[in-house]
Each structure stands twice: as structure tokens, then as C-alpha cells.
């Protein structure tokens, strides 16, 4: 992101540059829309938790705290790698940036594998989304989140391809930066949503 201080000091008073929007302005319709929907999911979870505390305590006890925490750390690290990748692109270091994005995508893949392990453990233990409200919301909300992770990994693969096309030691074009920022914003959204889910499902229950 641009520091507003730099903008205002470089330009004369009265002709302030419009504030920088990461990605493109239109993308934020999608990001904010998604946040509203997940906000609704979180409210549904909270309301059900409050009305059936015993059921949610019992369900929460069956959650694998270790896998949940591992996934949280995996996504936070992945987000950091995406941020590092963007910085490297800005410095004209396309090859190093590609490695950072490859790490981010691999960590995304790790999240998916851990989630599948977790799901299969619950299913083998007899948990059902159909007759237990806790597991219904657990499977559906984390499933919709997992769909976002898969979309994000696909987007990161596009980013890796784009990094190959960058000229070494040359600052990237505005178009490239907007593309990388946009996908970075989406990946941070996926990370942020998971942190809230982790708190609600693994810690608060």
C-alpha cells in the first residue's frame, strides 16, 4: 500500500493524488460482499451456540485443536509469503517473488490436505452433518471456506505464471501490480475468515 504521507509531501497542496486502492476498486464489491455473507455465517453460528451451549460444547470437544491451530499457522505464513512476493515484484525480483508465491500455494495445499484429514476423522468417528446442528454448521461453513481456499490456490497458480513473464531487474507494470494485489487481497481475506472460524469453532466452543 502507498503511504499517504509520501503522496501528500510529493505533491502540492490542493492536488492530492487519489488514495491508492489495492487491486482495483471494483474487486472490493466482491471482497466486501463476501465479508457480509461470512459475517452472516458467524452470526448464525453465534446465535446457535448461545441457544444450544451444551451441544456446541460437546461438538467443540471433538474438534482437533492441533489441526486447527496448525491450519491457522499455515494460512498466516502463506499470507506473509504472498505479501513478501508482492514486495519482491515491486523491487523487480521476479524469480524470488515466484518462489514466495510457490511457497504460498504449497502452504494452501497443506491447508487442504489437513482439512481433508480432519473431515475424514470426523466422518469415521460417526459425525453427521444431517442430524447434529454443530456438525451441520461446521461442515458447511468450513466447506464454503475450503472452496475459497481452492479458488485462491488456482489464483496463486496464475500469479506464479505471471511472475515468469516479468522482466528481471525492471519495475513491474501497473497492470501486473494490480493483478498481484487483487489476488493478494483475496488470499488475505481467506486467511482472515479462517482466523474467525478457528476462533469460533475451535476456541469458543
Partner 1 sequence: MNHRFLERGAAWCGLVYLMLFGMGWLVLAHFFPPIAPTRNAAEVARIFEERHVILMLASVFMMCSTWALLPVSALLVMIIRKIEGGVGMVTLMIGFTLATYLVMNFYTPFSFALAAFRPDRAPEIVQYASDYAFLQFMGGIPMFLGVWALSAYAILVQSPRENPMIPRWFGYFNLWAAILYLPELLVFFFKDGPFAWDGIIGFWIPAIIFIIYFLLTPFILVPVVRKHFS
Cβ proximity to partner 1: between 34 and 127 the closer is 34
Give min distance, CB of 140 to partner 1, in A. 6
What is the rounded CA–CA span in Å between residue 109 and residue 130? 28
Could you please report the per-residue DSSP string of 13-62? TT-PPPPP-SS-TTHHHHHHHHHHHHHHHHHHHHHHHHH-HHHHHHHHHT
How near is the Cβ of 28 to partner 1 at its closest, in Å?
8
Least separation in angstroms between residue 44's CB and partner 1 is: 6
Nearer to partner 1, 54 or 130 (CB): 130
Kindly provide the b/e burial profile for residues 52-85, where b requires at least 16 CB atoms within 10 angstroms of the residue's own CB. Answer: eeebbeebbeebeeeebeebbebbeebbebbebb
The residue (of 24 and 58) whose beta carbon lies closer to partner 1 is 24
Q: In this complex, which beta carbon is closest to partner 1, that of residue 101 or of residue 186?
A: 186
| Contacts with partner 1, residue ranges (CB under 8 A) | 24-27, 29-30, 33-34, 37, 40, 44, 129-130, 133, 136, 140, 144, 147, 175
Cβ closest to partner 1, residue 66 vs residue 140: 140
**Contact between residue 117 and residue 146 where contact means Cβ atoms under 8 Å apart:** no
Minimum CB–partner distance for residue 205 and partner 1 (Å): 18
Residue-by-residue DSSP string for 61-104: HTS-HHHHHHHHHHHHHHHHHHHHHHHHHHTT-HHHHHHHHHHH
In angstroms, give the least distance from the CB of 29 to partner 1.
Answer: 5
Amino acid at each position: 500500500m502507498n503511504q499517504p504521507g509520501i503522496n501528500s509531501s510529493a505533491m502540492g497542496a490542493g492536488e492530492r493524488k487519489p488514495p491508492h486502492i489495492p487491486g482495483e476498486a471494483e474487486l472490493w464489491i466482491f471482497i466486501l460482499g463476501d465479508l457480509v455473507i461470512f459475517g452472516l455465517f458467524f452470526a448464525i453460528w453465534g446465535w446457535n451456540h448461545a441457544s444450544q451451549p451444551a451441544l456446541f460444547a460437546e461438538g467443540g470437544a471433538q474438534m482437533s485443536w492441533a489441526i486447527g491451530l496448525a491450519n491457522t499457522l499455515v494460512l498466516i505464513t502463506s499470507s506473509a509469503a504472498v505479501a513478501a512476493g508482492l514486495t519482491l515484484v515491486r523491487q523487480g525480483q521476479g524469480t524470488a517473488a515466484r518462489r514466495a508465491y510457490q511457497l504460498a500455494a504449497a502452504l494452501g495445499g497443506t491447508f487442504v490436505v489437513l482439512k481433508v484429514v480432519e473431515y475424514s476423522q470426523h466422518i469415521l468417528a460417526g459425525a453427521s452433518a444431517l442430524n447434529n446442528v454443530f456438525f451441520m454448521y461446521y461442515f458447511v461453513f468450513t466447506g464454503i471456506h475450503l472452496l475459497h481456499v481452492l479458488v485462491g490456490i488456482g489464483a496463486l497458480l496464475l500469479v506464479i505464471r505471471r511472475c515468469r513473464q516479468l522482466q528481471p531487474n525492471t519495475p513491474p507494470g501497473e497492470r501486473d501490480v494490480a493483478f498481484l494485489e487483487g489476488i493478494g487481497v483475496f488470499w488475505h481475506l481467506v486467511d482472515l475468515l479462517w482466523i474467525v472460524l478457528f476462533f469460533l469453532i475451535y476456541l469458543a466452543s
